Structure 1
Amino acid sequence: MSIAYWIIAGLLALFYVYSGLMKVARSRDQLRPMMAWVDRIPLPVVRALGVVEVLGAIGLLLPPLTGIASWLAPAAAMGFVLLQIGAVAVHLTGEDRQITLNVGLIATAAVTFWLATGL
């Protein structure tokens, strides 16, 4: 098991668990200061994105830990790449055009995918 995978996947999973739980648990008013796009997306979709983020984080860590369905780790990493590509599109079509974090998450998820294929 690659130490680099565990460090990068662990940090990525930590980010997505935090972000996902915020989207699931907080109101639109509480999310707005951090995520200006929430006013343009229906709240059930925001909640669903939060659930997807938490499940993806679990998919990065649990399969390699257990050795069961280890193909899920690269699938989760690729899912995060696709999720962030969609996020870039949402940001660019709205008023807030801040995509630096999204580009960084795409790069991190891509590296995680590459490392996961070697598990």
Structure 2
Amino acid sequence: MVSRQVEFNEKVNPEQLSAQIKRSAVLGLTKSAEHVLRMAKHNTPHESGDLERSGAASVDPPNLVAAVSFNTPYAVRQHEEVSYDHPKKGEAKYLENALRDESAAVLKILAKHLQGAFR
């Protein structure tokens, strides 16, 4: 095994590095949540379009948590009721399926933004 020593000519400021990583994580979470929202909107049941338009992506930066939600009185019921017929378009589990189907894309988006913190 060959080992080599690497010298760094620049000093790393831990506080600046930590702040940059957090900014990159927040951006990655934002882009990831927006991606999942776009995919979920493709599968929301559609009658008037209100459900699709109610979709939102949000991020809680201090806690590094992202959320995707739909805010109509019937959003949860439409999501959970698998026996409903959707003749125009859409499906039950529209948000759950989008998150499951796009999990690899979400990881790539997050990785891309976090890698950017170290450049």
Q: Please report the TM-score for the alignment, with normalisation by the length of structure 2.
A: 0.29
More strand as a share of residues: 2
Q: Which structure has the highest helix share of the two? A: 1
Q: Which protein, 1 or 2, shows the higher relative CO under an 8 Å CA cutoff with sep ≥ 6? A: 2
User: Which of the two has higher C-alpha Rg?
Assistant: 2
